[in-house]
Homo-oligomer: A and B are copies of this chain.
């Protein structure tokens, strides 16, 4: 018997409707799923089981207070289900900080992990996505943390994309090792002597969409700003293009010709298909899908959570950060 993936039915801007629909769609694909939330608020749940949880942590709620006080929230109960061996993994499109806090409090840290990090896949047209971490879990980092992020990111890239000898790069403001903040310079030196991956040196913001490395390591502040800049500029350009195509009948016809050719690009960069960010360093699998997740995004996230949990991601992570 396989365990189900616990889906936070109340997390995300489109919860519970799209989340429940996504969970059902995943179940129809043959993945065991259990919903977590207030049963009376969940409709059209079909055959899905529900782990009851009476409280909800909202998107903009203060994380520290929420995870301490709302012990019966859908997020805390989902994390608890993983801890108690009732679920294989958890998936939430809710408050990122609260998802992290719940996972950390209920599942606990892996032995030896200084701080868990959020790993986000950045797609490219060359190869499998680049794993960027930390994408926002830790606004302040040390070099020792960044070295662990490199180790965990490599294990994750191997588990998720089958990378055999993962390459790791460090995000900086120049390729030379002499450039960057004191943190980056110290981390650069430390990565040169760390085993388990191939450190390829520094990369810059402009390299991120070109698949320059399997893993790109940075502190959570820079990582979060960078990812949002990337998302924002791609969306800006897409919107501008759609605006131009919609201008008149002639441009609409031209758009009809070009759009099928742009489809592979749009598909590659579609956040709905990426499968969500992964919290690495806790004793369980926790996938955080973006706040505006539709049913389709939840299906991707559930699939990724299931595959990584059954593939032994947590064991691999535990091994690479094992205290010596």
Contacts and interface: CB of A to CB of B under 8 A. Distances in A.
Interface residues of A, number: 57
Interface stretch (A102-110, A147-155, A174-182): A174-182
A166 B319 CA distance: 53
Given A222-B222, A226-B225, A236 B209 contact: yes
Given A257-B253, A258-B245, A261-B244, A206 B228 contact: yes
Copies of this protein, total: 2
A48 interface: no
Contacts of A221: 172-173, 180-181, 184, 222
A179 B182 CA distance: 22
A236 B122 CA distance: 13
Contacts of A254: 253-255, 257-258
Contact of A229 (B220, B229, B245): B229
Dominant secondary structure of chain A at its interface with chain B: helix
Interface string A164-199: 000000011100101111101000000000000000
A234 B237 contact: yes
Contacts of A231: 205-206
Interface string A228-260: 111111111110110011010011011101100
Interface of A: 60, 62, 125, 136, 139-140, 171-173, 176, 178-182, 184, 204-210, 218, 220-222, 224-238, 240-241, 244-245, 247, 250-251, 253-255, 257-258, 261-262, 265
10 contacts: A139-B173, A173-B221, A181-B221, A205-B228, A208-B232, A208-B233, A225-B226, A229-B233, A234-B237, A237-B238
